[in-house]
């Protein structure tokens, strides 16, 4: 049984996140999307809102679940007996940060292995921050996020 965790802020989830989730769901028996609940890192969406959005969006994948966690991801996966972490890589900046994170996670939990998945070229410039920036200027978000997220962003900036 191959289980993996996909941690992130998902503030809010985008087509880039969903692409990684879909590819992860096809590779592993179980995939847990872990919504970071670090209260100091205040997002546009509350943790509850982010969980609700992700939960709705992952419904098509029967082997994908959503949880939140306010501690270290290294501890989350140890608790759940998971060894694999998935992270998306959009470019060299992501890579250098993600490599550091993966080494930290392995230091904190020697069983942890991080798998890097390259971003779909359509979404390699897409981030939650970019989505929020575009939303604040009332731009068309339909190429970048599902309708549910587009509507939620519209509400935040109305
Ligand atoms: P974090 O604050 O942990 O980086 P994010 O929600 O920004 O949380 O990202 C979670 C994961 O999703 C990271 O591995 C990130 O690289 C990946 N990701 C974000 N946007 C994209 C995208 N457009 N394409 C592929 N992966 C992405």
Hey, is 47 helix, strand or coil? helix
What is the predicted pLDDT for the residue at 94?
94
The total number of structural domains that make up the chain:
1
pLDDT, tens digit (0-9, with 9 covering 90-100), for 88-115: 999 999 999 999 999 999 999 999 999 9
CB under 8 Å to 119, separation ≥6 — which residues?
A: 16, 19, 20, 88, 89, 90, 91, 126
Would you please indicate which residues are annotated as catalytic (active-site) residues? 17, 41, 90, 128
Residue 93 lies in a domain: yes
Is residue 145 in a domain? no
Q: Read off the tokens for 154.
A: 């519209």
- Is any atom of ligand 1 closer than 6 Å to the C-beta of 17? yes
Q: What pLDDT, on a 0 to 100 scale, did the predictor assign at position 104?
A: 98
CATH number at residue 24: 3.40.50.620
pLDDT at res. 61 = 98
Mean pLDDT confidence for 148-153: 98
For residue 129, say whether it is annotated as part of any ligand binding site.
yes
Residue to probe by mutation, ligand 1, list 88, 91, 95, 126, most atoms within 8 Å of CB: 88
pLDDT score, position 41: 75
Contact present, 98 and 119 (Cβ < 8 Å)? no
61 occurs within a structural domain: yes
Is residue 126 within 6 Å of ligand 1 at its C-beta? Answer: yes
Q: How confident is the model at residue 134, as a pLDDT? A: 98
Task: For the beta carbon of residue 120, count every other beta carbon within 10 angstroms.
Answer: 17
**Does a structural domain hold residue 57?**
yes
User: Given this model, what pLDDT does residue 40 score?
Assistant: 73
Query: Which residue is it, tokens 């020697």?
Result: 110
Closest CA to 11 of 142, 135, 122: 135
Q: How far is the CA of 42 from the centre of ligand 1 (A)?
A: 17
Which of 7, 20, 124 gets mutated to test ligand 1 (max ligand atoms within 8 A of its CB)? 20
Q: Is residue 135 part of a domain?
A: no
Share the mean pLDDT of the chain: 96
40 within a domain of the structure (yes/no): yes
What SS3 class is residue 16? helix
pLDDT band at 116 (very low <50, low <70, confident <90, very high): very high
Nearest CA to ligand 1 atom 22: 16
3: left (phi over 0), alpha (psi -120 to 50) or beta: beta
pLDDT range class, residue 42, cuts 50, 70, 90? confident
The reported pTM is: 0.96
Question: Residue 54 above 90 pLDDT?
Answer: yes
Q: Is 143 contained in some domain?
A: no
Which residues have a Cβ under 8 Å from the Cβ of 82 and sit 6 or more positions away? 3, 4, 5, 32, 76
Residue 71: partners with Cβ closer than 8 Å, 6 or more residues away: none
Locate the ligand 1 atom nearest the alpha carbon of residue 120 and give its number: 24
Residue 140 inside a domain? The answer is no
* Residue 49, pLDDT score: 97
**How do residues 60-78 score in pLDDT, each as one tens digit?**
999 999 999 999 999 999 9
Domain with 60, as residue range(s), is 3-124
């Amino acid at each position: 049984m191959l289980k993996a965790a996909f941690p992130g802020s998902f503030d809010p989830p985008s087509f880039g996140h969903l692409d990684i989730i879909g590819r992860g769901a096809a590779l592993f028996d179980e995939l847990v999307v872990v919504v970071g609940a670090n209260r100091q890192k205040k997002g546009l969406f509350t943790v509850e809102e982010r969980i609700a959005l992700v939960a709705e969006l992952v419904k098509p994948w029967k082997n994908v679940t959503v949880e939140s966690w306010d501690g270290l991801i290294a501890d989350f996966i140890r608790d759940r007996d998971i060894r694999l972490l998935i992270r998306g890589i959009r470019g060299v900046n992501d890579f250098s940060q993600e490599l550091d994170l993966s080494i930290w996670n392995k230091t904190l939990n020697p069983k942890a292995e991080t798998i890097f998945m390259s971003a779909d070229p359509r979404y390699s410039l897409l981030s939650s921050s970019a989505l929020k920036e575009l939303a604040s200027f009332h731009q068309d978000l339909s190429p970048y996020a599902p309708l549910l997220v587009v509507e939620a962003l519209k509400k935040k900036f109305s």
